[in-house]
Each structure stands twice: as structure tokens, then as C-alpha cells.
Amino acid sequence: MRPGLIYFDHNATTRMKPEVARAMLAAMDQPRNPSSVHAFGREARRLVEEARTRILDSISAHGYQLIFTSSGTEANNLALRGMKQVKLLFSAIEHVSVLKSQEPDAVIPVTENGVIDLNALVNLVNRFEGKVLVSVMLANNETGVIQPLAEVVRIVHAAGGLVHTDAVQAYGKMPVDMKALDVDLMTISAHKIGGPQGVGALIAKKNIALKGEIRGGGQELGLRAGTENVAAIVGFGLVAMQVDHHMQKLRVNQMIRDRMEATLKAIDPRVQILGSAAERLPNTSCIVMPGVKSDTQLMHFDLAGIAVSSGSACSSGKVETSHVLKAMGLAADVAENAIRVSLGTENMQSEIDRFCASWRELFQRAGAKEPAPTYEEAMVA
């Protein structure tokens, strides 16, 4: 990381772990096409299959099918675009790679805490007589709110339907046990926890019939043609071996996340931490600064050398209110004041202190109605 800069945007992507970069470089040192029958090809195949096993182990999905893709986005598309004979139900807070993969037959609402409305799910599943594929993410990328997936699976399976979960943000940040969850399809990706970008995976129970969209060679069980990205797959496999360690380190950082939230609330009680009434990932905080728009905040923090992101999605040059915050019922003038802070394993208390001081400085200048306590005073309180 560049000295002096603070990176608080780990839900967007993370710095690659040095040992992952080293393993990838080593993998790139030889020609590696896993479909070739000669010694080079066989070694490439061994590397790919070793990574596959490591990843399946990391989510307790031994014996399931795993298809490597170019991203979490592609894995979501592979899961959701192939099943024509079922009705598609997406939660309202899914990532755009789910929401835009297909037009859903119905959208499942969430409560004001950002948790899926299970009663609404029951009604929708009944309306479609159980012939459904339901996609509910394990943890949300903007708020970090963890969804009651085991309950979702129980409801949908009891009616005869299937469940896909986008676990891109959950993977490596909370325990993910695919067999215990009994979910039918799961998407994961490597780059949110120190792995490479440009590689993802769809994991599915053996009996799920998938339909690939990329035609050509017979790679990945004929579901995803194209020579495998061996180096990235090796990096993914290494990250998979480290998920427990990664989780433990993030759990330590939950303390500094919680202290940050308490400090900001002590500066002004009107500060809102969205989704904080629900169970959340240990690294994510969606913070509303009263009276100050998120784009003003982003600029301010950027000038201060602190990288955070807004809850708004910037598409075709215009900043739109986040669909996640909208689905939680937030008024537009509140949602547009939300920023996301997402910590990584290497962040430190001193960085949080700098952020809180900078936050307080902007708030005092642009949002406060009366003199706010300093962040040091707020921290003691």
C-alpha cells in the first residue's frame, strides 16, 4: 500500500497477498494448458484439480461440482441463466450481477434492517407452487448484513424449490459451510480476500443440471469453454487454504470497526449505522453522516488520503441511490448521505483514528448544527 494512504474499501477488492502473487508467478513460469496431454499439460491439470479440491474443502462441499469462471459475476450468470423451467425469485438487495442476469419473476423484499422478509418469501414460494430458483446472498456487500440462509433453504426445499447463494462477500469473512446450509448452488470469488481478480467459481450439488453459455472446447465439464486461467486458479486455491486464518484476523478488526461506529455516534447521535440491528460481517460499516452527501464525503476523504466508497452505484456518469438502501426503505435524502467503510486484515486502530478525526472535521464544517465534540472526546465517551 502507498505510504500515508489508508485503504478502507476491501469489499470492492483487496491487495493480493504476497504469497499468492508468488505462487501465481511460479505457475506462470511454464506453459500450462490443462487440456494438453504432455507432461506440461498434466502438471497444469494437477494444479487446477488441487485448487478445486482446496476450494471445495474451504466451504465443506466435498463431492460437489465446481466450475471455474472468470469472476463472481460470471458464476452468478451461470447459476441463474440456465434454468428455464423454474420461476426466478431474487432478493431486492442482490448484487447487480444477480439482478441483471435475468429478469426475475418476483423480487423478495427486505426489512428495514436489510434482512430478507421470510414471510414474503413463503408467500412467493407458495404462489409459484414451489417451482422456483431463489437467489439470496449470504452477506450484503454494502451493509454487511448476513442473511438467514438456512431458514431460506428450509422454506424453499420444503416446497420443492432450489436455492442459489452469492457468497462472494461472505467467503473468508464468516464461516461458510455449503453442506450444512444445504444450499444447491453457491458463487464465490477470490479477490475480496487477498486473491486474484478475474477468477470465480460456481459450486453446485452433483444433481443440478447447469447450462453453460460459453461454447467452444469442453473445459469445465463442457460448461465454460476456454483455456483455464491456471495462475489465477492456483492463487484462488491458496487463498482457499487460508480462509480460517483470514476470518480470525478480521474478527480482531471487528473491535476497531465497532469502536469507530461508537465514536461517530458519540460525535452526533443522529449518525446512523445501516443494518447494525442485524447480524453483520465483521469488516463492514455503512455510515450515514447527517446533512452531508456521500459524493462530498468521498471527495473529502480522498483528499485526506482515505479510500472509502459510497452506497450509491455510479452508472453511465450519473450517481444513483443505492438499490440496497432503497429496498431497506431509507428516504432518498438519508440514503444519499451513506458511505461504506470496509476493513481488511491489515488495517490498524491508528488508521481508524485518522478517519474519525477527518470525519469529524468534515461533519463540523458541512453537517453539524452546533459544535461537535472532538473525536478524542467522543472516543472517551
For position 143 contacting ligand PLP by CB under 6 A, the verdict is: no
Beta strands 87-91 and 106-108 are parallel
For position 147 contacting ligand PLP by CB under 6 A, the verdict is: no
Applying CB under 6 A, among 115, 137, 155, 234 the residue interacting with ligand PLP is 137
Q: Which is nearer to ligand PLP, 169 or 219 (CB)?
A: 169
Q: How far is the CB of 76 from ligand PLP (least distance, A)?
A: 6
Alpha carbons 123 and 141: distance in angstroms, whole number: 26
Q: Give me the residue whose beta carbon is nearest to ligand PLP.
A: 72
Applying CB under 6 A, among 14, 71, 229, 284 the residue interacting with ligand PLP is 71
46: number of Cβ within 10 Å: 11
Interaction residues for ligand PLP, span 151-170 (CB under 6 A): 166, 168-169
Q: Contact at 8 Å (CB) between 312 and 142? A: no
Alpha carbons 351 and 6: distance in angstroms, whole number: 7
For residue 76, give the nearest of 209, 197, 188 by alpha carbon. 188
Stretch that binds ligand PLP, among 20-28, 68-76, 315-323, 365-373 (CB under 6 A): 68-76
Q: How far is the CB of 184 from ligand PLP (least distance, A)?
A: 17
Alpha carbons 258 and 145: distance in angstroms, whole number: 15
Active-site residue flag, 286:
no
Q: Which is nearer to ligand PLP, 342 or 358 (CB)?
A: 342
For position 257 contacting ligand PLP by CB under 6 A, the verdict is: no
Q: How far is the CB of 281 from ligand PLP (least distance, A)?
A: 11
Alpha carbons 244 and 267: distance in angstroms, whole number: 35
- Dihedral over Cα of 320, 325, 327, 330: its sign: negative
Q: How many residues bind ligand PLP (CB under 6 A)?
A: 12
Q: How far is the CB of 202 from ligand PLP (least distance, A)?
A: 12
Q: Which residues pair with 338 in a beta bridge?
A: 288
**DSSP 8-state assignment for residue 9:** B
Applying CB under 6 A, among 10, 54, 95, 280 the residue interacting with ligand PLP is 95
Beta strands 306-307 and 6-7 are parallel
Q: How far is the CB of 118 from ligand PLP (least distance, A)?
A: 20
Q: Contact at 8 Å (CB) between 84 and 128? A: no
Q: How far is the CB of 68 from ligand PLP (least distance, A)?
A: 12
Q: Which is nearer to ligand PLP, 213 or 333 (CB)?
A: 213
For position 97 contacting ligand PLP by CB under 6 A, the verdict is: yes
Q: Contact at 8 Å (CB) between 13 and 1? A: no
Applying CB under 6 A, among 200, 282, 311, 367 the residue interacting with ligand PLP is 200
Stretch that binds ligand PLP, among 67-75, 115-123, 218-226, 315-323 (CB under 6 A): 67-75
Q: Which residues pair with 110 in a beta bridge?
A: 116
Applying CB under 6 A, among 73, 102, 242, 276 the residue interacting with ligand PLP is 73
Catalytic residue among 26, 314, 331, 381: 314
3-class SS at 288? Answer: strand
29: number of Cβ within 10 Å: 9
For residue 170, give the nearest of 57, 71, 256, 281 by alpha carbon. 281
For position 189 contacting ligand PLP by CB under 6 A, the verdict is: yes
Alpha carbons 118 and 110: distance in angstroms, whole number: 9
For position 114 contacting ligand PLP by CB under 6 A, the verdict is: no
For position 72 contacting ligand PLP by CB under 6 A, the verdict is: yes
Q: Which residues contact 134 (CB under 8 A, 6 or more apart)?
A: 89, 90, 108, 121, 125, 152, 156, 161, 162, 163, 164
Q: How far is the CB of 310 from ligand PLP (least distance, A)?
A: 14
Please identify every residue annotated as catalytic.
314
Binding residues (CB under 6 A) for ligand PLP: these are 71-73, 95, 97, 137, 141, 166, 168-169, 189, 200
